[in-house]
Structures are given as C-alpha cells and as structure tokens.
Amino acid sequence: MIPVRGVEGQRLAVLGLGRSGLTAARAIRAGGGIPVGWDDNPAAREAAEAEGIETLDLRRQGAFEAISALIVSPGIPHLYPAPNPVVLAALEAGVPVDNDIGLFFRSFATPDWDNFDTPPRVVAVTGSNGKSTTSALIHHILEQAGRPAQLAGNIGRGVLDLDPPADGDVVVLELSSYQTDLARALTPDIAVFTNLSPDHLDRHGGLGGYFAAKRRLFAEGGPDRAVIGVDEAEGLYLAGQLSEGPGDDRVIRVSSGQKLSGAGWNVFARKGFLTEWRKARQTASIDLREIKGLPGAHNHQNACAAYAVARALGLAPRVIETALQSYPGLPHRSQRVAEANGIVYVNDSKATNVDAAARALSAFKRIRWICGGLEKEGGLDALSGATGAVAKAYVIGREAAQFAMQLDVEAEVCTTMENAVSRAMAEAEPGDTVLLAPAAASFDQYDNFEQRGTDFVEQVTKRLG
C-alpha cells in the first residue's frame, strides 16, 4: 500500500466506498489520517464499517465541518451533467476536492528514494482507445526486459494499493478521463496520449471538456517526456503545446498510417512495419504483421506508443522487438479466442464506441460482425465507410432492430449473444473472422463489457466443443 502523505491527524472524507474509495480510506489511515466515508449503498457502508472506517452522511448540513479534503471515487460525476450535491457542498465549504490519483502522486515519492541507485519512474497512459493495451504492453515489455514494474489505475490494481516502489521500479498507470479530471497532482515522468474520439460526453459537458480532462495529465505539472498520438487534430495540438521546436525530443510523436519525419523523435507504423525516426534519420524498424497479440492498425498504434515509452526508458530496439513477439493480448481487447476450420474468433467487447469498433473492423479481411447494445450519444454515423470487410452483421441488444437499421451492411436481428454466435458460426466460411466489436455500451443486457465478452467466449467454446 502507498500511505497517503501529509494527512497526519486530519479528517478526510471519502465519497464512494467501492474498490478505489475503500482503498483510499485505508491508505489515508495508513498515513496517519482519519478517513470518514459515505456511499449511498448500505452494503458498501457496512463493508467500510467492518474495517473500522467511520461513515458519515456527507449530504447532511454541516457535514464538512472539520473535514480537510473530500476524496471522490472516479465513477461519481462531479460537475456534469449536473453538479453533485456532496461535491458542491464541499466546494461551498472551501474544502479541497481530490481523488485517489491525486493522493498517489503526492504520496509516491518518499525519503527512502535517497538511498536508491535509480529513482522509480511513473508512466501514465490516457486516451480514448487503446490505453489498456498500451499500458499492459509497456508493462509486458519491461517485465520481459527484466525491469521491475507494476501495473495499476484503470487496469490491474488500484493506485494506492501498489507496493512501495523498489530501486529502479517503473509504475505503469492507465488513467481514464474520470481519473485525470479531479486529480490535484498529476506528475508522471512519462505521459502518453493515444488518441481522441467522442466518449463520455455527458460526463464532461461535451467533447471540449472531455479533451480538457485528458489534457490535464500533461498540464498539471508536466511530464519529463510525452508520447503523443498525432493522428487526430487534438493530438497535434497537444504535441505543439508541449514542444519548444521541431527538434525537441521531449515529445515523441506517434502515428499509425502516416510517415513522420523531421528533426524530432517520431515512431510510426505503416503497412505493418514500425519505424523509429530520430534526428532526421531512421534508427530502427520492426515487422508487426505476424504478431498475433497485436492485430490491425489500431494495435500497431498501441505498439508504437509502448515502443516509444520503452525507448524513453532506455531499452534497446531489439529487446523491445523480442518482447512484442511474446505479447499475449488482453481479454476483451482484440482477444483471439479460438481458431477452427479456418475461422478465427475474436473478442473485442471493449470496443464500446463507434471509433473503437471501426478500428477493430479494419484489422481483418472478411468479418462476421457481432455488434449492438446500448447506443452512445452521436449515433453510428462514424461507422460509415468502415464496414467494407463485413460480410454480415449479427445484432444483439434490447434495441437490436433499431441498431440494425442504421448499419450500411446486411444485418440480422439476433437480440441475444447466444443467437448471434450461433448464426455467425453457421454462416461463417474458411477465412472469415467472427468478431465481437459491439460499438455500444453493454448495460442494456450485461453489468459490464467484461461480462459481455465472457458470454461471447463461452458461447463460442460451447459450440466448438
């Protein structure tokens, strides 16, 4: 655990007592502070009280008297679509509002580091799509290279649940916009921006607010080095803001699909080859085409970002290439589930928005596409032109018929995963890929995208025997 520093004897309120909130309360207590928590769910309050954590209804008048700070769990909206009444009460009382990410960054470094040969480093990854794969890939490369590393944040462990860092340790954090938006301290050594596409717009008051939440990772203190995906205008803008000139190699620009050259530090993938270009010359090249854990241009962008981080940490290109070859992939993210009779089955349940689904659709040549669910704001227009490889769509979800009507390919309304998998497998031919890439949230039928992906895997496995 990372004890929270600078809270000795202070009372800190924690709003939301799920995984991150309960861990934050424990870390506050470990640092000598006094956590008081609140959650609308009685079971969550009981779990906290069972650990000796005091609960206090933060909705009550005067609840913030003698409270030093309010720590808000990332799943709780604070400003949009409407101000959260507890957060508003804290602000009106002059109480600072933070989250577990902010507590981590202010508490991670300790005087023990004076005895280390190599200070620990923090790599933080954000963006709309690919941040989980990029984070896991960085962690995998470091482990394969024999570097001590931990993975946390929106993937793996909660940030305050990490082990105190060892000499030379690297902590890799996946951070969502929910996590960067409120953190009062954001000081990674290396920060990564993968890409931006519309998502969580209600939570951030629109696309500008969503980008602003991501941008905070680079503006609140500023990393020593930034790895920026420049395939969208927002990434180009961010790289331009952080760079002092064309040759400033503190910014590593990353692309999938376009060649990047010039005096700076660039890493890009074209036609399946990753290329590092530095100081106006090529310094390395890696063939990504046969790496099964990284199919498609979107995963090649993830590989470029992970490669750039590893290079910034001092790893040699050949060491990185060897590690990329052994990357197994993540569950529910371009996960190769099975191959039988010349047909490949891929679980990309994490493709919960149209941009992520479009990227998945570009990775395979002939697709039996399982899609549908709770449609997000903005509709499906962004899928136009991205379905050229789709032989047929099999649509799930409570509003499957309406979803199917918006697609520009032949579509069959299946409603359930069981029916969709059964129909796709019955019609698939050798050379096809049966792909789950929903382009929608899962909450109309499942608790989360993981449960949806697991259902897909189970249906496939059952039928293949």
As annotated, the binding site for ATP includes 127-133
Helix 417-427 to helix 449-464 angle (10° resolution) is 40
- Long-range contacts from 305-308, C-beta under 8 angstroms, 24+ separation: 305/125, 305/130, 305/134, 305/192, 305/194, 305/227, 305/229, 305/254, 305/267, 306/134, 306/137, 306/138, 306/141, 307/267, 307/274, 307/276, 308/192, 308/227, 308/252, 308/254, 308/265, 308/267
In 289-444 the beta strands, taken as DSSP E runs, fall at 335-340, 343-347, 367-371, 390-396, 411-415, 433-436
State the burial class of residue 223 (Cβ atoms within 10 Å of its Cβ: 0-12, 13-18, 19+).
buried
DSSP assignment string, 431-454: T-EEEE--SSBSTTTSSSHHHHHH
Distances (CA, A) of 278 to 134, 253, 308, 319, 367: 21, 10, 11, 18, 38
Cα separation, 203 vs 54, whole angstroms: 29
Q: What is the DSSP letter of 128?
A: S
Residue 394, both tokens: 């099999």
Distances (CA, A) of 143 to 124, 171, 210, 325: 17, 12, 33, 13
- Residue 250 near residue 280, CB atoms below 8 Å: no
User: Is the peptide bond preceding residue 96 cis, with omega within 30 degrees of 0?
Assistant: no
Residue ranges for the binding site? 127-133
- Residue 204 near residue 237, CB atoms below 8 Å: no
Cα separation, 456 vs 211, whole angstroms: 32
Cα separation, 352 vs 329, whole angstroms: 18
Kind of pairing between the strands at 54-55 and 34-38? parallel
Q: Rounded to 5 degrees, what angle do the CA atoms 167, 168, 170 make?
A: 120
- Compute the radius of gyration of the chain from its Cα atoms: 23
User: Which residue, 452, 457, 430, 454, is CA-closest to 441?
Assistant: 452
Kind of pairing between the strands at 170-174 and 149-153? parallel
Q: What is the DSSP letter of 33?
A: -
Cα separation, 65 vs 74, whole angstroms: 24
